[in-house]
Structure formats: structure tokens, C-alpha cells
Structure 1
Amino acid sequence: MPKPVSRLPPMSAVRVFEAAARHQSFTRAAEELGMTQAAVSYQIRMLEDRVGAPLFVRMPRQVTLTTKGQQLAPAVTEAFDALRAAFAGVEEMVQSVLTVTTLSTFASNWLIPRLGRFQHLFPHIAVQISVSEQVVELGQSEFDLAIRSGQGTWPGLEAHLLVPNRFTPVCSPDLIRDAELTEPTDILKFPIISPSDPWWKEWFSAAGVPEVDLSRRPDNSLGVQQFEGMAAMAGQGFALINPFFFPDDLAAGRLVQPFDLLAESGRGYWVVYPKGRRRSPKIEAFRDWILSEVAGDAEKDFLTRGIKARA
């Protein structure tokens, strides 16, 4: 017949006993645990009732362990030391790994090339990136934060705007080498990449051409800006992209922007994380770093446009 398992005393009382035995003081135990001295005394009395013997000798200005208390204290202290070590190990592991879910284009065209700067500043934090076009519920996953596209209103999440979603048509210089583009409708003479993208109509509308119909064009949709930009560079047609993600390709002339017009969708790219984790050191570090990087890019873009305007 199996031996019955004895029930443990309430852990709150055991925790108080461990602190009081370690300090040999109810007052210092109360200070450590954020309790009143009366609450400590109550928990000790409850534990003594459970054990059936006094654990402390009460004196006017101090307490000392009884024989039973001395017998119990080392095992309790060892158990709590093991718990502290276990929780410290988990906390260290949690704080040393940052998991980020992000969108494909943001990851490949902006985040990954800059990630080394973050790791140089915070070498103790390993960053793990997961790319997905699906919205991951942060509160129900192990991801620490996310880069999302939207309007910045997600219940339970802190959201910081990184960059507005501005877009404009671009193409390979070879595609229009012998062509003259003077009006936005001239783009319609060429193949359109992802013509079912509703932002095409928004851009043409912003350009003063509200009745553009692209429904009869082959719907060669590529899904993400990264691929659409690559297709445009390969001369496959005009793609609608956010210049924020293709600065080097535009500067090097691999992509050309025939018209200065940038339309906006009212959406943007945001760094988001659960409000309950906003004090996490690794999340604070990444948030501050990525906002600083975006601000630096915005300043460079402003200076570049100023130089072009004066040229």
C-alpha cells in the first residue's frame, strides 16, 4: 500500500519562516517581504500550529530558532535557494533572447541590414526574427514584440509609429529608356505589377486620375513589396512601393521614380508589444533603438531632399 503523501504547509508561511530564520529577525523579514511585523508573526504562529511545536524563541529585541526550527531551517533555505536559482536562470534566459515577428519586406529591406548595430550595442541580447504576413497574437505567443502594418490601434498593445505607409510607382530605367512619361496615365502603357492592389487606385486618384480601371490586366500578384520591387528592377513592369524600403536601389538607379507624388493610405508600420511587458529591459532596449534608427533615416532623407532641391 503506497505511503500517503503529507500535505505541505501554506507556502506563504514557509516563505516567511525562511526569511525570518535567515535574518533571525521578524522585523528584517517583514522589511524584505514588504509585510508588517504583525503579519510575519501571524504567519509564523500559523506554521508553528501546523508543525505542532515552537520554531522561534521570542525575546524582547530578537528571535532565535528553537531546536525544531534549527532542524527545519537548512532544508527550507536550501529549497528556496534552489527556487531562486531556477527562477533567476529562466529570467536570465528570457531577458537574453528577444523574439520578433515582422513583415517580410520590413525584415529583408530594412531591419536585417541594421540588426548588427543593435547587437553591437546590446551583445547580451540575442535576436530571433520570424517573418510572417499574418498577425500574431502577442499575448498568446512567445514573441516579445512585432512589426505590424495598420493604424496603430490594437487592444492591449503599446504601439509606436515607425514610418507612414507612403507609396509611389517605380520601374527599371531600361523599361522607360525610350519612352517619355509626362502624365501619370503614361504608366498605363506599361505592364503593372500586382494590378489588383487597391493602392494603385489610391495613387492614381491622388494624381488626379480617379477612374483608372486595372481589372482587365493579368493579376500577376507577388504578395509583398520585396518581390514587387525585385520584379520592377528586372524590367517586368511598374511596381507600387514605399521608397523607405528601397533607398539604395533608388539612389543607385536600379529603380526610378518617374513622378514625385507619394500617396498615403492612412496606415503605417508600427513596433508593438503587450502593455504588460513594457518595462521589460530587452523590449525597452529594442524599442528605443529602432525608433532612433528610423529617426536617423528620416533626418538623412530630409537632408538628401534638401540637397536635391538646391541642385
Structure 2
Amino acid sequence: MKGNLNLNWLRTFEAAARHLSFTAASRELGLTQTAVSQHIKALEGQLGQNLFIRKAKSLQLTEIGRAYLVSVRDSLEHIAFSTNGLFGPAQETTIVVRASAAMIIWLSPQLASFQKANPSIGIKLVTSLWQNDREGHPVDVDILLAAQSQSDTRMVKLSDEYIVPVCGLHTAKKIEMPKDLMTCNTIHVLGFDDHWARYLSSHGLPYADISSRLVVDTSVAACELVAAENGCTIMIDRFAQQAIAAGRQIRIVGDPVDTGQAHYFLQRKIRSAGSQVSTAFCDWLKTCF
């Protein structure tokens, strides 16, 4: 009967699907690899469908396995939340916060204050880079950069953002006015392709001929290239200020320009048991900006 499934089989399936490894799942669950394999075979037998594609050195989810994982993971999470809510947490509650690498670094010096005020709450920080909702852990709070005209009413605004030009200390000596930036090698950040155009146009300078000499996928990487005198980048002011405070050998060489964007947070599953934990984090987050 498909409606009467063994909960241990489902836990084993979730762990194996998350790790894509029976061996790793067995270590996490404290079972033998044989027991994990038997659990999965029993579950597949009762469902009448294969959940995994087994190869000599790899394990993959079938299409129906991927679809089923979403429901299984959500159900196990709901059971855990309900248990903690009714009977008290057996251990500290952990929330998952997703943000850009630059935002995580910017928040790092301030996290100690949240941990001191909330010693029973753990925080798992994951980067938003290439994150796949179907394969990653459930996210409690997203910190997003979006247009100020965004229409999603679930998103709570934290702060408007500004961009500044940043150079290495040696290159900075050559920059006296915005037009001098056009003589530098330009470093572009994927996803922020308009930053150079926005900054130059705000000073009445042409930007059509600016070429992407160096392209990276995070502001953190761009900052390191700048510090190594590989060129100049345009980045969010608060992240540049943080890098300078942390001792990076860079300098801001121009006035801030409005990006037309802001940082927001989005609290997910706000009606679920345990949502008060992520609410506490969001309340603290608003004080950081």
C-alpha cells in the first residue's frame, strides 16, 4: 500500500538524494551502506518506481525521484518544525540564509551581535551563486538586490544602493576625474553588466566602447583583481567600504552614483512552525542597514 510508507525509508531517501551517495547517507544516518541500499530498494518497490539511476561511480535522481524529493523534504521539515514547536527543540534551531558572497562578507563582522542575543539559533549562510532550489537545502531568508521599482510585496526593503569606481592603490594615483577611468583595464561582474555604463553616463561620458577585458562572477573576485592591480571595477559602495576596512589594498576613486536598486529580504514559509526564528533574524537584519 503506497499510503503507508516507512518514515525511515523516506529519511534515507532524502539523505541519499541530498548527497547523491549511499555511502555519505549511511555516514550521516549512522547506518551501513547495505541498510541504506535496502531502504531505497524497499521504498522503490512499494512505490513501483525507480527513484535513482545507479551507475558504477555515480548516483543520479530519476525525473520522478527529483519531483518526489521536493515533497519528501518539505514533509520531513514540517514534521521537525512541528515537533520543535510543540515539544521544544532537542538542539539549537538553524536557519538558512541565502545571499551574495559580498553580502555575506559585509554581514560577517555584525553576526556576533545576533548570535550573542540569540544563542539558541544557528545560522547557515549559503551563496546565491548558481543556487538550485530543487537541490539545495530549504532557504528561510533570501537577501536580494533588486530594482527599487520591484513589485513583489513580500520583499522588505533594507537599503538603497550606490556604486563607486574602485582601483588598486597604484592605479588610483592616476585617477583624478571620472574620464580617467576610461584609460584603465575594466573589470566587469556578471549580473552587474550595467554598472560601468550607469557610472560613466552619470558623468556624461561615453560607454559604448568600454570592453570587457576581465569578467568575473562575483564582486569579491573583482575586488581581489583590483587589489592585484589588474584594472578598475565599479562595485556597490558598502562592499567597497567593507573591503577597505578589512585591509584590501584598494581605493574608491569617485563619488557614489545611485544604482536604482536596493537590497531586500524575503522571508520564506512565514506561516510554518518555527517561523519566529527567521523573523528574529529579519528583525535583526533591518538594524544592520
TM-fit CA distance, 1:137: 5.7
SS of equivalent residue, structure 2 residue 168: coil
What is the CA–CA distance in structure 1 between the aligned matches of 2:207 and 2:171, rounded to whole Å? 25
Is the Cα contact below 8 Å between 2:143 and 2:263 reproduced in 1? Answer: yes
1:209 to 193, 205, 210: 205
**Deviation at residue 141 of structure 1 after TM alignment:** 6.5
Q: Which one of 219, 230, 235 corresponds to residue 241 of structure 1?
A: 235
Contact 1:158–1:274 under 8 Å retained in 2: no
Contact between 1:98 and 1:125, CA under 8 Å: does it hold in 2?
yes
Which moved further from structure 2: 238-247 or 129-138? 129-138
Q: Structure 2 vs 1, CA of residues 211 and 116 (structure 1 numbering), >3 Å: closer, same or farther?
A: closer
Deviation track 1:109-136 (CA, whole Å, cap 9, x = no partner) reads: 2123322211111001111111122476
- Of Structure 1 and Structure 2, the greater strand share is in 2
The AA in structure 2 aligned to 1:208 is: G
Q: Please give the alpha-carbon distance, in whole angstroms, between the structure 1 residues aligned to 2:123 and 2:248.
A: 33
Cα 1:210/1:195, change in 2 over 3 Å: farther
1:103 partnered with 2:106: no
Number of the residue aligned with 1:192: 186
Q: Structure 1 residue 104: deviation in Å?
A: 1.4
> By how many angstroms is 1:162 displaced?
2.1
The TM-score, its normalising length taken from structure 1, stands at 0.57
Conserved 8 A contact 2:189-2:218: no
After TM superposition, give the deviation of residue 204 of structure 1 in Å. Answer: 0.3
1:229 aligns with 2:223: yes
Question: Any gaps of 5 or more consecutive residues in structure 2?
Answer: 1-78
Question: Matched residue of 1:150: which SS?
Answer: strand
The structure with the largest alpha-carbon Rg is 1
After TM superposition, list the pairs within 5 Å mapping 1:130-279 onto structure 2: 130-134=126-130, 142-151=138-147, 153=150, 155=152, 158-177=154-173, 179=174, 181-194=175-188, 197-215=193-211, 217-218=212-213, 220-250=214-244, 254-260=249-255, 262-274=256-268, 276-277=270-271
Find the counterpart in structure 1 of residue 283 from structure 2.
288
CA contact (8 A) 2:143 2:266 kept: yes
Residues 151, 266 of structure 1: 8 Å contact kept:
yes
Partner secondary structure for residue 110 of structure 1: helix
Give 1:95 shift.
Answer: 8.1
Would you say the 8 A contact 1:204–1:212 is kept in 2?
Answer: no
Write the distance in 2 (CA, Å) between the matches of 1:85 and 1:131: 24
Pairwise CA distance, 1:158: 2.5
Q: Deviations over 1:27-67 (max 9, x none)?
A: xxxxxxxxxxxxxxxxxxxxxxxxxxxxxxxxxxxxxxxxx
Aligned residue identity for 1:230 = E
Counterpart-to-counterpart distance in 1, 2:286 and 2:200: 31
Contact 2:244 2:250 in 1 (8 A): yes
- What SS is found at the alignment partner of 2:216? coil
Letter in 2 for 1:291: K
CA contact (8 A) 2:92 2:122 kept: no
Answer yes or no: is the 8 Å Cα contact 2:158–2:264 preserved in 1: yes
Using the TM superposition, give the Cα deviation of residue 144 of structure 1 relative to its aligned residue in structure 2, in angstroms. Answer: 1.0
Aligned residues: 203
**Residue 121 (structure 1) aligned with residue 134 (structure 2):** no
Tell me the equivalent position of 1:22: none
Change in Cα spacing, 1:244 to 1:211, as seen in structure 2 (3 Å) is: closer
Quick one: percent identity of the two aligned structures? Answer: 20
Q: 1:269 Cα deviation (Å)?
A: 1.5
Asked whether the 8 Å contact 2:166–2:232 carries over to 1, the reply is: yes
AA at the equivalent of 1:96: T
With normalisation by structure 2, the TM-score equals 0.61
Misfit runs of 4+, over 6 Å: none
SS at match of 2:201: helix
